[in-house]
Amino acid sequence: MQLIVSVLIGMALDLAGAKPTGKYYASKYDHIDVGTILNNRRMVNYYSACLLSQGACPPEGVELKRILPEALQTNCARCSEKQAATALMAIKRLKKEYPKIWQELSGKWDPSATFVERFESTFEALHGPGRLTTPAGDKLDSPDSNTIDANITQTSPQDSDRGNQPATSTQIITTNPPFSSSTNPFASTKRPSPIPGLVPFNTFFTNPPIPIRPINIGATVKAIKQVEKMVADIALEKIRSILRPWRRVKKAQNV
């Protein structure tokens, strides 16, 4: 008798957890990146206002409000695997990163938290708690000191199974290449000056001083006098060219 009762209870539990014969929910909005929305505080406020009937709703928000009561009561029985995984990820991130918004949403749609707890326990057992996170973007600060962790990464089943494998010892042999200026990226190299004729500033401290030849004072004075004489001759010739027409006119008048 106890065996029959146990079988009947097992069959009842299987029927309760099975999906109905109806179709899945429409997948026309499955392409929306919920992880990107959760990375933006402004977008989270926009969609939460829609679900709380406190603001405008986009088409996907209207569709979500329509199917949400049935999905909660039936434990997301008509959800596809992708939709269920996205819903579980959204619930966990809202709880962790936006606790005030989650409290308002839960108070409106699931005050006793019965449906959400059943949904979490069911799908975590099927998929595992560490395989439903999506990569988050930049870390954004929110006015309520709720921050988005940018270090959330997506884990695969292969990575989780590696922890159960026995550790194997490996020996690594490394060889160091010969140290030279061609292989050393920090070797000092003299960079060309950006301006022709300009000596880099650091060469004043690293290069030997430039030898300075003694100045020949006599040759310098002689060169200066030659320049002065040349300038004076040019000026005198210019004055003569200006006065030459005037002298011709005056000479013609005297004749």
What CATH number does the domain containing 91 carry?
1.10.2080.10
Q: What is the pLDDT of residue 132?
A: 42
160 inside domain: no
Q: What is the pLDDT of residue 22?
A: 57
User: What percentage of the chain has pLDDT greater than the value 90?
Assistant: 25
Instruction: Return the higher-pLDDT residue of 151 and 112.
Output: 112
223 inside domain: no
Q: What is the tally of structural domains in the chain? A: 1
- Residue 105 pLDDT greater than 80, yes or no: yes
- Residue 221 pLDDT greater than 60, yes or no: yes
Residue 144 banded pLDDT, cuts 50, 70, 90 = very low
Q: What is the pLDDT of residue 227?
A: 92
47 inside domain: yes
Tell me the pLDDT tens digit for each residue of 5-31. Answer: 333 344 343 434 444 445 878 888 888
On whether the CB atoms of residues 122 and 75 are closer than 8 A, the answer is yes
- Residue 156 pLDDT greater than 80, yes or no: no
39 inside domain: yes
Tell me the pLDDT tens digit for each residue of 38-88. Answer: 999 999 999 999 999 999 999 999 999 999 999 889 988 889 888 888 999
Instruction: Return the higher-pLDDT residue of 148 and 126.
Output: 126
Identify the CA nearest to 85 among candidates 129, 36, 51, 44. Answer: 129
- 120-135 mean pLDDT: 60
68 inside domain: yes
161 inside domain: no
The distance of Cα 201 from the centroid of its chain, to the nearest Å, equals 38
Residue 240 banded pLDDT, cuts 50, 70, 90 = confident
Contacts of 180 (CB under 8 A, 6+ apart): 187
Q: What is the pLDDT of residue 199?
A: 54
Q: What is the pLDDT of residue 104?
A: 93
Contacts of 148 (CB under 8 A, 6+ apart): 38, 39, 41, 97, 136, 137, 139, 140, 142
Residue 28, both tokens: 């026309």
Q: How far apart are CA 200 and CA 206, in angstroms?
A: 11
Q: How far apart are CA 133 and CA 156, in angstroms?
A: 10
For 116-139, letters b (16+ CB in 10 Å) and e give beebbeebeeeeeeeebbbebeee
Tell me the pLDDT tens digit for each residue of 159-180. Answer: 444 444 444 444 445 455 554 5
Residue 245 banded pLDDT, cuts 50, 70, 90 = confident
Domain that holds residue 50: 21-127
For 21-58, letters b (16+ CB in 10 Å) and e give eeeebeeeeeeeebbeebbebeebbbbbbbbeeeeebe
Q: How far apart are CA 83 and CA 24, in angstroms?
A: 10
9 inside domain: no
Which amino acid is residue 122, in one-letter code? T
On whether the CB atoms of residues 55 and 101 are closer than 8 A, the answer is no
91 inside domain: yes
